[in-house]
Amino acid sequence: MGKGGSLSDGVIKKILLSYTYVAIWIFLSFTVIVYNKYILDKKMYNWPFPISLTMIHMSFCATLAFLLIKVFKFVEPVTMSRDLYFSSVVPIGALYSLSLWLSNSAYIYLSVSFIQMLKALMPVAVYSIGVTFKKESFKSDTMCNMVSISVGVAIAAYGEAKFDSWGVVLQLGAVAFEATRLVMIQILLTSKGITLNPITSLYYVAPCCLVFLLVPWIFVELPILRETSSFHFDFVIFGTNSLCAFALNLAVFLLVGKTSALTMNVAGVVKDWLLIAFSWSVIKDTVTPINLFGYGLAFLGVAYYNHSKLQALKAKEAQKKAQQADEESGKLLEERDGEGGGSTKRNESQD
């Protein structure tokens, strides 16, 4: 009874912790998206400088990551040569900076709800780029699923009340760069045995992002900011916004470390629906029935894709366990044969 009770208590505690990590990640991701929209939207805080906002985030995150790794020793740094840094981390930093720049820019032109619908194309982009770089094998059923997701997003776009072509181009560009970054992480880092958690990733990547963003910032936003003499840096707004962005990275570290990347994907779907509901009910963005029908179709495709990934993962784990069992049984047979041979020799010597 005692053992059974302690076991059930442990299982319940583990489930509650998993749900807590999911809830924290959803809350922080939700907060960062809505906060960025509030700052950048011309009808709200009215500070439409996405490059500057991204640079503020990267400066804040790089500083905190440095303190956590070098000062407080909270996380062990990854051993990395200069050649590896420039050949692997720098390209990833360039892609990340472009992804953040374009995704933040999209908030100026599109509603939060429509942006979440467009983000449903992420599996399509990751799979397509993965096939192009031969990191994914082409499967006709998977490609049909990708087409169904694309059709669903196209229907949602058709039903968008405040459609803005430039905003769509920016968001699709952000999806393409982010998908390429994820594939490049596999090619340039994971294949070399290097794994970066969100803190070490910010420690190495955030300074690269700052350097890459500095060039367009000088030519695009700095001249306008100089003319805007009435602007005063609000440490409360930008400080709390940056803190939320950094906390989100920590939440990703906790969620993936304590559960799995697939759990984060499923939680992401829940977060998207919550954002659509919030955008419609609080921000008063227009969400049409065609929007919902299209996104519903894309959602089913994404759900099926996640389900397929889970099944493939389970099959891989089952195969690995079967191989381990075969190896163990083989070792036992060898030991028994060895013992049998030894006893036979002893009997012969006695005779």
The pLDDT mean for the chain works out to 85
| Mean pLDDT, range 141-156, rounded to an integer | 92
Please give the model's pTM, rounded to 2 decimal places.
0.82
- The pLDDT value recorded for residue 188 is 83
Q: CA 46, CA 107: separation in Å to the nearest integer?
A: 11
Q: Is residue 262 scored above 70 in pLDDT?
A: no
Q: Are 155 and 117 in contact (CB under 8 A)?
A: no
DSSP assigned state of 164:
-
Measure the CA–CA gap between 261 and 174, rounded to whole angstroms. Answer: 21
Question: Residue 46 — left, alpha, or beta (φ > 0 → left; ψ -120 to 50 → alpha)?
Answer: left
Report which residue type is found at 145.
N
The answer to whether 186 touches 151, Cβ cutoff 8 Å, is no
Using only the alpha carbons of the chain, give its radius of gyration: 25
- Mean pLDDT (whole number) for 128-150: 89
pLDDT-derived band at 1 (thresholds 50, 70, 90) equals very low
pLDDT score, position 252:
79
Q: Which residue bears the tokens 């001249």?
A: 223
CA distance 116 to 103: 11
Phi and psi torsions of 156, nearest 5°: -60, -40
Alpha helices, H only, the chain: 2-40, 50-66, 82-84, 90-109, 112-118, 122-132, 140-158, 165-188, 198-220, 222-227, 235-258, 261-281, 289-350
Give the residue extent of every domain in the chain. Answer: 15-228+237-324
